[in-house]
Structure 1
Amino acid sequence: MGPSKREEKEQSIILISDDEAESTLGNSVLLVDPLEKSALEEEKSEEVVDEECELMVTFCKQAKVMPHARYDCTIHPFERMECDTCSPLGKNADICNQCYCYICDKLASECQNWTTPSLCHCNAHNKSKFWKDQRDFALAGVLVMFNLDLTDIDADLRHGGSLLIKFIQELSVEYNKYLVGERMPPTQHECFCLPKLPPGQCNICRSRNMEIVYKYSGVFALVTRFLNQAERESPKAAAVMFLGAAKEIALHKDPALSWQNLGHTDSLKLAVPCLLQSLNVVPWDHVLLTTVLKGQNVTGQRTQKGRKVFLWETLPVIEARVEKLVDKKNYKEVVRYLRAVKCNDTKGLRDLRDKIPFYLCKTGDFLDAAHSLLFPVNSLACCTACRITPFQFEVYLKMFRTGSVPTGKDMLEPGPWITVGSPLKDGVLVKQALKLLYNNVSLYRNPKCWSSLIMILGSSNFLEKSGHLHPLSLKEPPLDFQKGVLAASGGLLEELKSKINVSLPPAILSPHLHHEACLILAVQAVQQMLFCDLPYLTSFLEIALAFGNNFWALRLLLDHLSYEEHVLHGTVNLILRDLNRQKATMLKLWQNLGPQYVGEFLCLFLTCRHKKMQSIGLFTLNIITENLHMCPWAKHLCNFFHNAGLRHLPLGTAAHHEVSKFINIFEKL
């Protein structure tokens, strides 16, 4: 028997994805509407086939709403923002009986902060870094600051974390009281002068009666009690408590504008070093630390009473110091400190040291930054170049090319750029860039990195405040010059792969054609990469597009590919696949670049002597012909073909036919 009408109306299908990242909608649950009368009732089909997704539904039943995060609810709409916590967005506060809180990991109806102002868990979702961090904090508590895996957090660590979070809350209250300060009657001012006089009788202390006094004693007492409590806990809990306390007090600042004559517990400048010493944390004014920060000690070690003493600190303390120095924009001190300090957490310290090249760029020392990417701090570590991403590679090249840096604390933060120093010379830039590629196989096999290199070499060293480069249209150099650079580049590239110090040959150091010489060297490097690593390449079109209007350089690359038949065929197949997959994107790009660029691009491929390469031009021409409604510039392209005499060039039968067919379309209009 078939289902009743009521059951038929309520029938639906739920598709559940186990990978949220693969979903274009960002949902882990997709609800397909009940059978529609207009389609299924008329056709009485027993099968529903989605040809695009290759999904066949042969049976469906009454849907059950599964437990889901609020943002995945199919009943109530959800609005996404990065970090809105003031109040519920839209209808985000509405829930069904299976909605879960993304932060608390429990039913939304049980969440105490679902609509609480400044918290608003109802707005939380998995596409926001802010909300992901909030979720991690909710699951790991304050222990998230120690970068622990959730599987490593046992009862002792959780106990230490709960005591630490309570302490941090109490410390925040006490520290805020300290920052407010208090006014004291002159008769209550204790005298710390020599000789010491009774309160109210010292003229020096009386002159300070209008000042606000900042007494740190309340904070000092609270921290001392907490440290005493930590000593009575288990080793794991104590470690969490000690490190957390050290990280908090290391960030405390003295609001007083001038020196205040206070006791050792009342004065922050005296109390904090005392507390840090009890935690085995070096105070800021310690001779070893100060000499490192000033650049007087580059090793972080000194001999004291016949034995070597090292600047050795725990990772939370190192992170706190780095954060404070970066906040004050003391980038040179950050670099000196990170190069000298030692830590048991080698991976955590390595991650912090990986930012040294960026901090050097912030100081305007781009040459040292380029070297720091390639040379580790010590002989036992690997270089930062082994771990940078393709996007970081592009940003570094942009900084080296322009002498500019992003204004934020992190190189990946969006925002304006400012000039801070002189850019690297073209020869040094291309040499360092190729060394980076040769040191990191994932970068070497990534087309994004090669397109970034070619694009930046073909751009001026002027950078807009927004971070946009200005492309150059370089005139094709004489053939003799091109041959000279190509002849010198083969041996140079091999040296860059194996040697540390490499000198550039005179052909590449040409004072008048240095831009062109570097671009030719990059062409030769791309060619070598294709000959060896073509099977690993996932795309080639973006490399071709990176040449911009410098078609002579792209032609030089394509001509050399014809020496190896399998490389030529593999490259052409990659480009054809890219064009087929990205038709809409290419049409938008051509709209922006204009008919002159598209005409040059087509002529480059259509006039290639190899028919396989001509197929790229023919495929491109077919895309334009099939989408003339999206190409209002196509008539101008037709004029370009006429002016270039493309009908009369020895293109080959297929190419001539397609070009003539394209021109005839507009001649009939």
Structure 2
Amino acid sequence: MGPSEEEKENSVILISDDEADNTLGNSVLIVDPLVKIALEEKKCEEIVDEECELVVTFCKQANVMPHARYDCTIHSFERMECETCSPLGKNADFCNQCYCYICDKLASECQNWTTSSLCHCNAHNKSKFWKDQRDFALAGVLVMFNFELADIDADLRHGGNLLVRFIQELSVEYNKYLIGERIPPREHECFCVPKLPPGQCNTCRSRNVEVVYKYCGVFALVTRFLNQAEREKPKAAAVMLLGAAREITLHKDPALSWQNLDHTASLKLAVPSLLQRITTQLQKMLVLCDFPKSLYEKFINFFQSITLPCHCFAFSNSLNVVPWDHVLLTTVLKGQNTTGQRTQKGRKTFLWEMLPVIEARVEKLVEKMHYKEVVRYLRAVKCNDTKGLRDLRDKIPFYLCKTGDFLDATHSLLFPINSLACCTACRLTPLQFEIYLKIFKTGSVPAGKDIQDSGLWTTAGSPMKDCVLIKQAFKLLYSNLSLYRNPKCWGSFIMVMGSSHFLEMNGRLHPLTVKEPPIAFQQGVLTASDGLFQELKAKVNVSFPPGIFSQLHQEACLILVVQAVQQMVVCELPYLTSFLEIFLAFGWPYFIFSQNNFWALRLLLNHLSYDEHTLHGVVNLVLRDLNCQKATMLKLWQNLGPQYVGEFVCLFLTCRNRILQSIGVFTLDIITENLHVCPWAKHLCNFFHNAGLMHLPLGATTLHQLSKFIDTIEKL
């Protein structure tokens, strides 16, 4: 059945894109108008072209579609490889739909259609010469990257335009550099005949004129361009950086001898400095930016095609960055290869990467929250920058905490990846130590990418048992002498062990009041733990004696901490800078609440009392801290109220040792001197009366000071 009138009007002309030799390169298929007449006579008869295997049921006179000049069916075309002098045959003729192969414009608009030495009318797609001309015309400066035309998008073209402008500006600045600066010679003795006074001999003067070549102007221009490139989109930035690298490596130093110039003025110092910045940025981009594979390879191939001068040989392999789908890298990330090496055809290969590449891979994996892959990669990869790699590996315990594997995290803190390095615990700061203890105690981790990021905390796993936590905490302290001697670390330790396993989303702990256990239990823990700390210092995998943590495990933890603090003070007293943090940790504040475990503090004071020299040193430290931090302590007491302050003061006033009582007396003196900020002082007097403090054998001096304080408050 023939087509309807509507179908005839809407008929479509098919354009062939087949450029095989047997099509003669035709880009448009035009049906002979004579076929239309035959069809009009026999509308119901099908026309079959057996050679083309094409069945024609209807046709109409075709409209001539836009086509390349060499495909024109109206005007004949002659082909040659690279004729540019004059038009061949009738190649200069064109119809109104002929396009220039080079310019991609209508032939009537091509300005070089018949221009001698250009002759775009002779261009065709079977010539390598003309193809290269077309690529350069369409791609511009991007042609040197060997991009396919299909690869060139708006970003690449934008980068190419900026690069062209930069190359023009750089040429001007580089020519200025080549001229140099002529510096007049210094006056010197003349040895010519006749001998003239210094500075008056023209021969000597011309012989000693010095030309200095300063690269500062070029360096500043390139630096501005690199700054601009780093603000552009990845594809544009890559083109700009690579183009800049190619241009500066072509620069030559015209000086015949070494000139004592700084790193921006000396070409041989400035170019490596600029190239270092360029390659570092490109390394990160190759890892972080999802470039298509073909583009990725062309960026690398372009850099490898740059001929580096001798002062830049160190950058020869700078962009040999393995892609994410590299066999060795993928097996490491999946956990199938833990060593980062493999043997292929009897040859060992290692996962070795430059530090910027490693940093970029870690950044991308962390961004995707692939923490297990980060750990596997950092443990396996090798780098010539050992310090930089060590700093990255120091974050492995935190990444393990993110996965909820707290035991492996403590192992990574305490044991180095290889025997030549020291452990991460050696480099922990007091704040990091506290955060790790909070993580292990509560099973929660900071939600950010770094262990010290402020903000929300999230649950990652089950909290450590107290008996495991306290052992790991002791090992960390014993592995880092600066932590061991830091009272803030011990204060954090006491505070965490005196807290519950619950942690608020903002990272605040909940204090826990632990009742004082029987004296027999306290003595039992102290006796059973004899020699335990020495074994922990030796990193022996010790086990607590049976029965210590079978009951009252919170109490046992505090007793062990008290014993460890006492041993630390005896050994490290000369190195301690304060001690107040430790005392306050036994009754630490939590907003308007305060919980205290003063029985454990009293136990510590009793232990310290056995050594008079140690006790004097501790008390002097505490008195100095109180004196230096009066404002802080007054604000703290204002928040905690008279109940806490009363218990704190009573603890020291009721000590049998007169030296310890001086801490309580000094606290009363601070309150007396600052009654205007202590409105709760009257309540404190009531607390002392209710506690019967005036009827205890406190000693004449202490009792006198207490009476004086109460009288002062009651007279108000």
State the TM bucket, normalised to the shorter chain: 0.5 to 0.7
For residues 104-503 of structure 1, the aligned pairs below 5 Å read: 163=222, 166=225, 169-170=228-229, 173=232, 175=234, 225=243, 236=272, 238=275, 240-253=277-290, 265=294, 279-503=319-543
* Kept in 2: contact 1:360–1:366 (CA 8 A): yes
Q: Which residue of 2 aligns with 1:89?
A: none
Are the structure 2 counterparts of residues 416 and 313 from structure 1 closer, same or farther at C-alpha, using a change threshold of 3 Å? Answer: same
* Kept in 2: contact 1:156–1:236 (CA 8 A): no
Deviations, residues 403-444 of structure 1 (Å, cap 9, x unaligned): 111111111121111111111111111111111111111111
SS of structure 2 residue aligned to 1:405: strand
Corresponding pairs, count: 463
* Kept in 1: contact 2:300–2:320 (CA 8 A): no
Q: CA RMSD in A?
A: 2.7
From 558, 563, 578, the counterpart of 1:519: 558
Deviations, residues 303-339 of structure 1 (Å, cap 9, x unaligned): 1110111000011111111111111111111111111
Task: Give unpaired runs (5+ residues) of structure 1.
Answer: 1-154, 179-217, 255-261
Are the structure 2 counterparts of residues 407 and 584 from structure 1 closer, same or farther at C-alpha, using a change threshold of 3 Å? Answer: same
Q: How many angstroms does 1:242 deviate by?
A: 3.1
Are 1:641 and 2:688 counterparts? yes
Greater Cα radius of gyration, structure 1 or 2: 2
Are the structure 2 counterparts of residues 400 and 156 from structure 1 closer, same or farther at C-alpha, using a change threshold of 3 Å? Answer: farther
SS of structure 2 residue aligned to 1:309: strand
TM-score relative to the length of structure 1: 0.65
SS of structure 2 residue aligned to 1:612: helix
Q: Which residue of 1 aligns with 2:638?
A: 591
Q: Which residue of 2 aligns with 1:185?
A: none
SS of structure 1 residue aligned to 2:281: helix
Matched letter for residue 455 of structure 1: M
* Kept in 2: contact 1:524–1:557 (CA 8 A): yes
Q: Which residue of 2 aligns with 1:602?
A: 649
Matched letter for residue 349 of structure 1: L
* Kept in 2: contact 1:160–1:236 (CA 8 A): no
* Kept in 2: contact 1:427–1:508 (CA 8 A): no
**Alpha-carbon distance in structure 1 between the residues aligned to 2:430 and 2:694:** 42
Deviations, residues 179-204 of structure 1 (Å, cap 9, x unaligned): xxxxxxxxxxxxxxxxxxxxxxxxxx
* Kept in 2: contact 1:485–1:508 (CA 8 A): yes
Are 1:612 and 2:659 counterparts? yes
Q: How many angstroms does 1:275 deviate by?
A: 7.8
Q: How many angstroms does 1:621 deviate by?
A: 1.5
Are the structure 2 counterparts of residues 310 and 643 from structure 1 closer, same or farther at C-alpha, using a change threshold of 3 Å? Answer: same
* Kept in 1: contact 2:566–2:604 (CA 8 A): yes
**Alpha-carbon distance in structure 1 between the residues aligned to 2:217 and 2:395:** 31
**Alpha-carbon distance in structure 1 between the residues aligned to 2:597 and 2:412:** 32
Deviations, residues 508-548 of structure 1 (Å, cap 9, x unaligned): 322x3111111111101100011011111111111100001
Are the structure 2 counterparts of residues 567 and 276 from structure 1 closer, same or farther at C-alpha, using a change threshold of 3 Å? Answer: farther
Q: How many angstroms does 1:236 deviate by?
A: 3.6
Are the structure 2 counterparts of residues 290 and 393 from structure 1 closer, same or farther at C-alpha, using a change threshold of 3 Å? Answer: same
* Kept in 1: contact 2:366–2:374 (CA 8 A): yes
Are the structure 2 counterparts of residues 315 and 275 from structure 1 closer, same or farther at C-alpha, using a change threshold of 3 Å? Answer: farther
Q: Which residue of 2 aligns with 1:149?
A: none
Q: Which residue of 2 aligns with 1:652?
A: 699
Matched letter for residue 166 of structure 1: F
TM-score relative to the length of structure 2: 0.61
Q: Which residue of 2 aligns with 1:662?
A: 709
**Alpha-carbon distance in structure 1 between the residues aligned to 2:419 and 2:221:** 40
Q: How many angstroms does 1:253 deviate by?
A: 2.5
**Alpha-carbon distance in structure 2 between the residues aligned to 1:596 and 1:506:** 38
**Alpha-carbon distance in structure 2 between the residues aligned to 1:275 and 1:236:** 18
**Alpha-carbon distance in structure 1 between the residues aligned to 2:643 and 2:233:** 69
**Alpha-carbon distance in structure 2 between the residues aligned to 1:157 and 1:454:** 59
* Kept in 2: contact 1:230–1:241 (CA 8 A): no
Are the structure 2 counterparts of residues 306 and 609 from structure 1 closer, same or farther at C-alpha, using a change threshold of 3 Å? Answer: same
Are the structure 2 counterparts of residues 655 and 298 from structure 1 closer, same or farther at C-alpha, using a change threshold of 3 Å? Answer: same
**Alpha-carbon distance in structure 2 between the residues aligned to 1:566 and 1:331:** 50
Q: Which residue of 1 aligns with 2:569?
A: 530
Q: How many angstroms does 1:661 deviate by?
A: 2.7
Task: Give unpaired runs (5+ residues) of structure 2.
Answer: 1-213, 252-267, 305-316, 588-595
Are 1:546 and 2:585 counterparts? yes
* Kept in 2: contact 1:325–1:333 (CA 8 A): yes
Q: How many angstroms does 1:619 deviate by?
A: 1.1
* Kept in 1: contact 2:238–2:282 (CA 8 A): no
**Alpha-carbon distance in structure 2 between the residues aligned to 1:249 and 1:158:** 30
Are the structure 2 counterparts of residues 319 and 373 from structure 1 closer, same or farther at C-alpha, using a change threshold of 3 Å? Answer: same
Deviations, residues 241-266 of structure 1 (Å, cap 9, x unaligned): 43332222221126xxxxxxx9x636
**Alpha-carbon distance in structure 2 between the residues aligned to 1:588 and 1:361:** 36
Q: How many angstroms does 1:169 deviate by?
A: 3.6
SS of structure 2 residue aligned to 1:302: strand
Matched letter for residue 379 of structure 2: R
Are the structure 2 counterparts of residues 171 and 592 from structure 1 closer, same or farther at C-alpha, using a change threshold of 3 Å? Answer: closer
Q: How many angstroms does 1:506 deviate by?
A: 2.2
**Alpha-carbon distance in structure 1 between the residues aligned to 2:363 and 2:519:** 54
Are the structure 2 counterparts of residues 443 and 171 from structure 1 closer, same or farther at C-alpha, using a change threshold of 3 Å? Answer: closer
**Alpha-carbon distance in structure 2 between the residues aligned to 1:161 and 1:282:** 32
Q: How many angstroms does 1:558 deviate by?
A: 0.3
Q: Which residue of 1 aligns with 2:121?
A: none
**Alpha-carbon distance in structure 1 between the residues aligned to 2:715 and 2:238:** 90
Are the structure 2 counterparts of residues 465 and 495 from structure 1 closer, same or farther at C-alpha, using a change threshold of 3 Å? Answer: same
Are the structure 2 counterparts of residues 655 and 171 from structure 1 closer, same or farther at C-alpha, using a change threshold of 3 Å? Answer: closer
Matched letter for residue 689 of structure 2: H
Deviations, residues 285-306 of structure 1 (Å, cap 9, x unaligned): 0010011111111110111110
SS of structure 2 residue aligned to 1:461: strand
**Alpha-carbon distance in structure 1 between the residues aligned to 2:221 and 2:325:** 32
* Kept in 2: contact 1:220–1:265 (CA 8 A): no
Q: How many angstroms does 1:665 deviate by?
A: 3.6
Are 1:627 and 2:686 counterparts? no
**Alpha-carbon distance in structure 2 between the residues aligned to 1:157 and 1:457:** 60
* Kept in 1: contact 2:688–2:694 (CA 8 A): yes
**Alpha-carbon distance in structure 2 between the residues aligned to 1:292 and 1:158:** 46
* Kept in 1: contact 2:682–2:714 (CA 8 A): no
Q: How many angstroms does 1:272 deviate by?
A: 7.1
* Paired-residue identity, %: 68
